[in-house]
Amino acid sequence: MWDFPDSQVAQRLIREIYETGGVVAAVCHGPSVLINAKLSDGAYLIAGKRVAAFSDEEEAEVQNINIVPFSLASSLIQHGGLYQSAQNWSANVVVDGRLVTGQNPASAHGVGEAICKLIKATA
């Protein structure tokens, strides 16, 4: 959450992978890397796409609201993401084309399965 949103290397890799037909995926706090990710045309990758990430309610439950540098859910929404959350700590995997996101650690297995399914479908 501190380094990923502004990492030029991460932004370049995300753009290159996505624009060459690859799968981009992140889970829990990992979707923070997607906040500023832009495509070659300058549009945010997440604009108009359904996404999941660690919820504000989960942050509050683990008493991290005053520790994390920003609200992950709000930041995704501000850049056009269609944020979807589920009940705290339940698995929530959101697939929108070749973008796969998960809400929390309980979502990690499902994110991995979704990635495999997408890769097999394009092979």
29 classed as catalytic? yes
Active-site annotation holder among 16, 19, 28, 113: 28
Q: Which fold has domain 4-122?
A: Rossmann fold (3.40.50)
pLDDT at 122: 82
Close Cβ partners of 106 (under 8 Å, ≥ 6 residues apart) = 89, 90, 91, 92
Per DSSP, the chain holds a count of helices (H) and strands (E) of: 4, 5
Instruction: Tell me if 38 sits within 8 A of 68, measured CB to CB.
Output: no
Phi and psi based region of residue 42 (left: phi greater than 0; alpha: psi -120 to 50; beta: remaining): left
Active-site annotation holder among 16, 29, 109, 113: 29
pLDDT one digit per residue (tens) for the chain, 123 residues? 999 999 999 999 999 999 999 999 999 999 999 999 999 999 999 999 999 999 999 999 999 999 999 999 999 999 999 999 999 999 999 999 999 999 999 999 999 999 999 999 987
- Which of 71, 76, 74 is CA-nearest to residue 31? 76
59 classed as catalytic? yes
